[in-house]
Amino acid sequence: MTALSLLPEFPFDADGVLRMAAQSLFDVLAQASQGMMVVDRDHRIVWISDGYKRFLPALGFGDEAEFVGRRVEEVVPNTLLADVIETGRPILVDLLSNKAGTFLVSRLPLRNATGQVIGALGLVLLDQPETRMQPLISKFGRLQRELEEARRELAAEQVKNRRPKYSIASFIGASGAALEVKRQARRVAQSDATVLLLGETGTGKELLAHAIHSASPRAHKPLVSINIAAVPETLLEAEFFGVAPGAYTGADRKGRDGKFRLADGGTLFLDEIGDMPLALQAKLLRVLQEQELEPLGSNQVIQVDVRVIAATSRDLGAMVACGAFRADLFYRLNVLPLQVPPLRERADDIEALAEALLEDIARRGGMPARCLSPEALDLLMRQPWPGNIRQLRNVLEQAALMSDELLLQPSHFRQGLPGAVKDLRPQNATAAAAAEPTLPAAAGSEGNPALRPLPEQIEQLERQALAAALQATRGNKLAAARLLRISRASLYDKLAAYEAKV
């Protein structure tokens, strides 16, 4: 007997066709599924398909008569058919587990012509889905793992792009002023308090901000920088606090995170803080005090955990006195002040700085590294350097690019330091000869050189090259090694070998 035989006959008008379609679909579902049941409004089972009968023994029933007529929640553990009847909402795909096994099921409400729920239909779509659907489950699991891995890599890449570029060791110098700055940087790095870097432009304040972050417990979190002087005043609020979706015409529909949100958990470096407009200073003060913000165009308060490092080349105290900078914000920023000395106060560091800068200039420009003669170094150490390290790099780069010489003399700085190069006359020949390093003469140099053994000629040529390099660099062995394109160790080995033959 089919489900169609349970329903009365009707004429084949339009309504009759629809009813026939419904009956046909009912039979198709009964035959295609592994089991089907119908329950009435009172949750009682009124019919089960032949396929469903094979589950009866596992449910504890000997035949259909014992099963049909019972309330479904009493005979089918964990069923949700009663919920479907009460809510009228279908559960299209679900997993059902009970003592009969695990099944992939579907539950649909049944309604009369007026839309009233009169019962529910339960279908067993698949028996033992964990076995039969294993390939699909495995594929889904693999895709899920790949998605999570891609998300982790993307997050790691975003953090990597905001990692500090410098450490405290990157602040070059062994002068007293430089050592004191590095000592203070290491000390403030261990705190979460706000740091204010003070100093002239070009002294290395941004480098120190990176160094403090890299030495802090937040080093594995993002370091986000913003140069306040470089951002138009009308865009600063959006840059700081972000924009809510659709906040204004032309805004990104998805919204945009501000620098505080991007730096959450890490450090935010505010360069040129003295250029911040007064109207924005009050909002910045609130974020620093409360560690919370509201994106532009939003009423939602967002908590952030950000350590702030600010820097300025301006006199904030004087700005406070004249009303150009809020006193309360100044006090909030000036918790851990760190004064960065100008280059003229650490002239002893110029040699090490020049060496590092010349190596970097050569690497970036793809050219041989230059070095300074003693006279050129003396010239640089006597300059006032109002532009500090940034100006020093500019002068060195100009000299390196405008000359083919590997050893830079004072004359090479004529353009970069106009007026500083005064006495460029050659040194007295007698004084130069007195300063010239000597090497032992090669044995057997008399006679026709062409008739001498080749190793002796090569040795004599190498001696002459070493002597010329040492003369050109006034005895500076490191500079001589660079001039000859050999290592300093090789230079020492060759000098020792020739001296041993005397």
**Where are the domains positioned within the chain?**
33-132, 168-246+254-341, 345-425, 431-502
Options 3.30.379.10, 3.40.228.10, 1.10.3720.10, 3.40.50.300; CATH for 168-246+254-341 is 3.40.50.300
281-296 CB burial, b ≥16 within 10 A, e <16: beebbebbeeeebbbb
Exposure of 364 in the CB half-sphere (CA atoms within 13 A): 10
Residue 126 Rama label (left phi>0; alpha psi -120 to 50; beta): beta
Q: What distance in Å separates the CA atoms of residue 374 and residue 380, rounded to the nearest whole number?
A: 10
Residue pair 293/156 in contact by the 8 Å Cβ criterion: no
User: 33-132 adopts what CATH topology?
Assistant: Beta-Lactamase (3.30.450)
Position 480 scores a pLDDT of 83
What the block records as the tokens of 97 is 């587990």
425 pLDDT more than 50:
no
DSSP label at residue 296: B
DSSP string for residues in 179-248: HHHHHHHHHHHT--S-EEEE--TTSSHHHHHHHHHHTSTTTTS-EEEEEGGGS-HHHHHHHHH-B-TTSS
Give per-residue pLDDT as tens, 277-298. Answer: 998 999 999 999 999 998 888 8
Q: What is the mean pLDDT of residues 178-187?
A: 95
44-48, 76-80, 374-378, 459-463: segment of lowest average pLDDT: 459-463
User: What SS3 state is found at 467?
Assistant: helix
Rounded mean pLDDT, 171-178:
92
Angle 127-132-136 from CA coordinates, rounded to 5°: 125
Quickly tell me which residue has 């008739």 as its tokens: 451
pLDDT per residue as tens digits for the range 40-50: 999 999 999 98
Which of 32-36, 358-362, 408-412 has the weakest average pLDDT?
A: 32-36
Among 151, 185, 193, 145, residue whose Cα is nearest residue 169: 185
Give how far Cα 370 sits from Cα of 77, 148, 407, 409, 481, Å: 85, 50, 6, 11, 11
CA distance 389 to 177: 15
Query: Between helices 233-241 and 278-290, what is the axis angle to 10°?
Result: 10
Place of tokens 């911040």: 276
Question: Which of 299, 282, 280, 298 shows the shortest CA–CA distance to 290?
Answer: 282
Going by pLDDT thresholds of 50, 70 and 90, the confidence category of residue 431 is very low
**Average pLDDT over every residue of 450-467:** 78
Residue 166 φ/ψ, nearest 5 degrees: -135, 155
Nearest residue to 316 via CA among 292, 281, 348, 345: 281
The secondary structure element, H or E, covering residue 269 is: strand 267-271
- Among the ranges given (177-191, 234-248, 361-375, 416-430), the one the predictor scored with the smallest mean pLDDT: 416-430
- Residue 20 is encoded by which pair of tokens? 């026939």
Whether the pLDDT of residue 437 is over 70: the answer is no
Position 154 scores a pLDDT of 63
Q: Inform me whether the pLDDT recorded for 484 exceeds 80.
A: yes
Query: Is the pLDDT reported for residue 378 higher than 50?
Result: yes
> What's the pLDDT tens digit per position in 305-331?
999 999 999 999 999 999 999 999 999
The domain made up of 345-425 has a fold known as Helicase, Ruva Protein; domain 3 (1.10.8)
Query: Residue 98: beta bridge partners?
Result: 101
Whether 339 shows a pLDDT value over 80: the answer reads yes
Integer Cα distance of 329 and 289 in angstroms:
10
Burial zone of 72 (CB within 10 Å; 0-12 exposed, 13-18 middle, 19+ buried): buried
Q: By the 8 A CB rule, do 421 and 380 touch?
A: no
Whole-model pTM: value is: 0.56
Q: Answer left, alpha or beta for residue 388, where phi above 0 means left and psi between -120 and 50 means alpha.
A: left
What local confidence, expressed as pLDDT, does residue 194 receive? 95
* Band of pLDDT at residue 270, cut at 50, 70 and 90: very high
Distance, CA of 479 to CA of 376 (rounded, Å): 13
Give pLDDT tens digits for 196-253: 999 999 999 999 999 999 999 999 999 999 999 998 888 889 999 988 876 665 555 6
Alpha-carbon span 307 to 292, nearest angstrom: 13
Q: CB under 8 Å to 184, separation ≥6 — which residues?
A: 338
Average pLDDT of the residues in 351-363: 93
Across the chain, mean pLDDT equals: 83
Q: List the structure tokens of 335.
A: 């918790």
Q: Which residue has the higher pLDDT, 455 or 79?
A: 79
Rounded Cα gap, residues 333 and 276, in angstroms: 13
Q: How confident is the model at residue 430 (pLDDT cuts 50, 70, 90)?
A: very low
- Per DSSP, the chain holds a count of helices (H) and strands (E) of 21, 14
Which strands make up the sheet holding 117-127, listed edge to edge?
Answer: 45-48, 35-40, 117-127, 101-111, 91-98
